Amino acid sequence: MNLTANVIGATGLVGKELVKQLLENENFGKVRIFVRRDSEISHPKLEQVVVDFAKEETWAKKLTGDVLFSALGTTLKQAGSKERQYEVDFTFNLNFAQKAKEKGIENYVLVSSIGANSKSNIFYTRIKGELDDAVANLGLKNLAILRPSSLTGDRDETRWMEKMSIPIARFVTKFVFKKYRPISGETVAQAMINAVLNPNPKKTIWEGDEVFALAGRVE
């Protein structure tokens, strides 16, 4: 294979690991990342496109190839408002997915969240569920929606509640509620790549611990 991968959310916890693995994977000849500012990543296979996600004219023409990977998302604290978070997590993601479909990119892998449900009373899980539903209706040939539990790994920002809760969650989910066990960004990234290289036409959504299976790993 000599696939061209497009990545949004390339500078986050999962996104950075995904880009690293794609650059090391011989099945991908080009890795194109869409970023708001210079990522400072350099590699012969890498193409960086600095964009304004709200302005389609800054990115649409560059969206070509075989695969669109999305690890794009934010938090309410980072976004500053629910409206801004909705724009990043839902609108920007859906715009890219729709344009990918229009341009014949039939492989789309999305990192969602455990508990995603468009009918949820919780804002975060509701917008994740709304996005999952929207991309599922696009009619993509190979769609994989990953719903991992708490993510572990090196983040640019410190999330103290997450740092304190993850060791507890690891211990508890080792025995019960295994669906909710924490998962590393590295494992999620491997699962994303596997969803393209070994697609499962009978399965679209990978919940919680199923992401470990898709990655072919046990943690």
Greatest extent of the chain over all pairs of C-alpha atoms, in Å: 50
User: In 3D, which of 84, 93, 147 has the Cα closest to residue 120?
Assistant: 147
Average pLDDT (68-76) is 95
Predicted pLDDT at 167 = 52
The CB-based long-range contact list for 115-122 (8 Å cut-off, 24+ gap) reads: 115/147, 116/147
% of residues, the chain, pLDDT over 90: 77
Please list, in sequence order, all residues whose beta carbon lies within 8 angstroms of the beta carbon of residue 192, skipping any fewer than 6 positions away: 14, 18, 69, 71, 109, 111, 144, 146
Structure confidence by residue, pLDDT tens digits, 101-139: 999 999 999 999 999 999 999 999 999 999 999 999 999
Structure confidence by residue, pLDDT tens digits, 142-200: 999 999 988 886 645 544 444 444 454 444 444 445 667 889 999 999 999 999 999 99
Report the relative pairing of strands 107-111 and 46-50 from DSSP bridges.
Answer: unpaired
Domains of the chain: 3-215 (3.40.50.720)
* Angle of helix 93-102 versus helix 123-136 axis, rounded to 10: 10
Q: How far apart are CA 198 and CA 193, in angstroms?
A: 8
Q: How far apart are CA 113 and CA 194, in angstroms?
A: 18
Structure confidence by residue, pLDDT tens digits, 87-105: 999 999 999 999 999 999 9
Predicted pLDDT at 153 = 64
Who wins on pLDDT, 4 or 201?
4
pTM reported for the whole predicted model: 0.87
Residue 215 phi/psi, 5° resolution?
-75, -15
Structure confidence by residue, pLDDT tens digits, 17-31: 999 999 999 999 999
